[in-house]
A and B are shown apart, each in its own frame.
Chain A
Amino acid sequence: MELTLAIIITVVGASTPILIAALGELVVERSGVLNLGVEGMMLIGAIAGFVVQFHTGNPYLALLSGAAAGMAASLIFGFLTLSLSANQTATGLALTIFGTGFSALAGSSYSARPVTLMQPLLPAEIATHPIGKVLFGYSFPIYFAFVMVVVIWYFLHKTRAGLILRAVGENDQSAHSIGYSVLGVRYLAVMFGGAMAGIAGACFPLLLTPQWAERMTAGRGWIAVALVVFASWKPFRLLAGAYLFGLVMTMELYAKAGGGVLSVIPSELWAALPYIATVVVLVLISLRRDASTNAPACLGKPFLPAN
């Protein structure tokens, strides 16, 4: 029981940054933009969050700085792909390379400097009982991620602004001809995605491992990008997907570290599960022949007004 609770806590930590980054990318892709620079924006957010946490010790300010830095990085992407209609795939890859290099440069004087971890959001008394700890013992970003799942779902499906964002991703020419600012909507979406990636990056030094290390996100930005497809652009599926990935990533380690019950399923199988799950999901999606894959129709296509 105690081990189960401990595993849940680790899973939550591993899933949260992926979930936050993927939620941002989901909104970006729903607006018809494919930003493959999530990994780079996360690293920029991670170093910004680290530096602010190191100097101020205020984790909320650190998260905010991560968001601002990620947003700034996304604006470079936005300017190139939206204003200059550059190829989104290539620009996104370039953003990742840039983010990796820039964060390494900015962080070069911060090696061998630890920071303090972010404290749980609620008073420790609430989390004394083990179950209470599993439910209420986390710091702010974990709850933020859950709230954002609901907020983004509500925004996309229940608000007019969300409808316009989906419309822009679905058919940019029509949205333009009706009179919506396609580029304006996409800029806002890209900036939101950048902020979320930045927060996700800042979670690394604040939640997982209180230090700065080059490339410390180690490919999780790419998992976030893949998850958006996996979740067929739906926030609640994204929540499930992020936690599924977090679970198998964590269980692989627990299975390796433990004996007994945990080694019933070999760690190799845990390691393979994300890929198996992806294949299963893709097969299920394509079996439902009546519905489309739900991909925004304009995903990745630059918008050039027809007239």
Chain B
Amino acid sequence: MTLSRRTFVKVGGAAMALPLLGSRAFAQLEKVKIGFIYVGSINDNGYNYAHNQGRLYVEEHLGDKVETIYVENVPEGPDCERVLRELAQQGCNLIFATSFGFGDSVVKVAPQFPDIAFEHATGYMSGPNVGLYNARFYEGRAVCGTIAGHMSETGKYGYIGSFPIPEVVMGINAFVLAARKVNPDATIKPVYISTWNDPAKEADAARAMIDQGIDIIAQHTDGPAALQVAAERGIVGGFGQGADMSAFAPDTQLTAIIDHWGPHYLASAEAVLAGTWAPGDTWEGLKEDVVQMGPYGAKVPEDVVAAAEAVRTGQIDGSFHIFTGPINDNTGAERVAAGVTMTDAELLSMDWYVEGVEQPA
């Protein structure tokens, strides 16, 4: 009993101290040391590769004023905590935890290092020195979906997902919403493979879908395997994910969604140098250049490029939002009324599929 009461008092005390900590100002710095932790390898040609490109971007822009270190292949779990502490003890002023699953560790470690700024990608738990950042990948999906709607002959698309988390569901929905604006009968079949990185399984999943009639494929996993199968089988095309993957399938990549974290990382680093860093919750997209579109493939006709560009620029100037109603879910029930745009909070907890998505098995 006494123990639990003491624990209670401690928690209460910590809660009272929180606002005080929050008002703490960060000092100005001559040089900033930044730590990055990646969930996978920087050579994955995709997600982690893109984050590492962002790190190099900061180095390139800040020169002598920055020093960066990174740790790759950090599992989501207790190891992450240890790595975070090590980075903190090595004198990092700013630490980027670049995977969703690092969230618990960041929230646990950050209070012990109140002078260090932490930023957690794609997460939802912030704190006095923990900021959140994310990118509106779905904007890119809308561009891809538009191209698919124009170019597909069968009107059936395949989509390889890792896990059915809101991030992935959102991408599938944006893709099919955009496609159906062009071809109202278009359908998509998501296949979840329960891994971010198993190229052979991604390839076999792509084969399974192509053998059953899809002619355009998209994926939300880390590598180019599906795109290569698309090229091997000679279907209409596929898309790069996370980075430009045209090297793997020059004729088949119709365009690519490129994660361009550099500008965000640079802004945070500069804020830390100036002593103005404060925990933010940024969700940037095409407009801020955090999401970029790759070059259009040679096969994509002029008119389709124009349509895709219209969607892209519309999202930059704010005239177009893919999640503006009317939107029905895949049971036919209306989820978003005409003219209403979904809020960020709704998007970040999306767990239903729009019309045109066949319920995944």
Please indicate whether A and B come from the same complex rather than being unrelated chains: yes
Q: Does A108 contact B (CB under 8 A)?
A: yes
CA of A257 to CA of B211 in the docked complex: distance in angstroms?
Answer: 9
B248 at the interface (CB under 8 A from A): yes
Among candidates B43, B201, B224, residue contacting A218 with C-beta atoms closer than 8 Å? B201
Contact A213 B197, CB 8 Å, known A10-B204, A250-B208? yes
Q: Indicate whether B192 reaches chain A with its CB closer than 8 angstroms.
A: yes
| B212, A258: Cβ atoms closer than 8 Å | yes
A217 to B199, CA, bound (A): 8
Query: Using Cβ atoms and an 8 Å threshold, which residues of chain B touch A112?
Result: 45, 49, 243, 245, 247-248
Assuming A111-B43, A254-B208, is B361 touching A267 (CB within 8 A)?
yes
Q: Which residue of B45, B197, B360 is within 8 Å of A256 (Cβ)? A: B360
Question: With an 8 A cutoff between CB atoms, is A130 at the interface?
Answer: no
Known interface pairs A107-B43, A220-B200, A259-B358. Does A211 touch B223 (Cβ–Cβ under 8 Å)?
yes
| Contact string against B for A residues 232-270, beta-carbon threshold 8 Å, 1 for contact and 0 otherwise | 000000000000000001100111111100110011100
Residues in A neighbouring B245, C-beta threshold 8 A: 112
Q: Which residues of A contact B243 (CB under 8 A)?
A: 112
Residue A94, interface by CB 8 Å: no
Interface residue ranges of A199-247 to B (CB < 8 Å): 204, 208-211, 213-220
A190 to B229, CA, bound (A): 35
A132 lies within 8 A of chain B by Cβ: no
A245 to chain B, nearest CB (A): 13
Which B residues lie within 8 Å of A158 (CB)? none
Q: Which residues of A lie under 8 Å from residue B207 when comparing CB positions?
A: 6, 10, 253
Interface class of chain A by DSSP: helix
Contact with A along B203-245 (1 / 0, CB 8 A): 1110111011010000000011100110010000000000101
Is B158 an interface position by the 8 A CB rule? yes
B44 at the interface (CB under 8 A from A): yes
Q: Are B212 and A3 in contact (CB under 8 A)?
A: yes
A3 proximity list for chain B (CB < 8 A): 211-212
Residue pair A218, B200 in contact (C-beta under 8 Å): yes
Q: Which residues of B contact A13 (CB under 8 A)?
A: 204
Contacts of B201 in A (CB 8 A): 218, 249, 253
Q: How many B residues face the partner with a CB closer than 8 A?
A: 41
CA separation between A49 and B206, bound complex, in Å? 23
B193 interface residue per 8 A CB criterion: yes
Q: Is B264 an interface residue (CB 8 A)?
A: no
- Residue B81 at the chain A interface, CB threshold 8 Å: no
- CB of A44 within 8 Å of the partner chain: no
In the bound assembly, the distance between CA atoms of A249 and B228 in angstroms comes to 20
Cα–Cα, bound, A267→B358 (Å): 15
- Looking across the interface, which residue of chain A has its beta carbon closest to that of B41? A214
B191 within 8 A of A: yes
Q: List the A side residues contacting B200 at CB < 8 Å.
A: 14, 204, 208-209, 216-218, 220
| Highest count of chain A CB atoms <10 Å: which of B195, B200, B245 | B200
A14-B204, A208-B203 known; A256+B191 contact, CB < 8 A: yes
Q: In the complex, which of the residues B40, B49, B205 contacts A253, with contact meaning CB atoms closer than 8 Å? A: B205
Nearest B residue (CB) for A6: B211
| Partner of B44 from A209, A214, A262 at Cβ < 8 Å | A214
Q: Check if B197 sits within 8 Å of A218, measured CB to CB.
A: yes
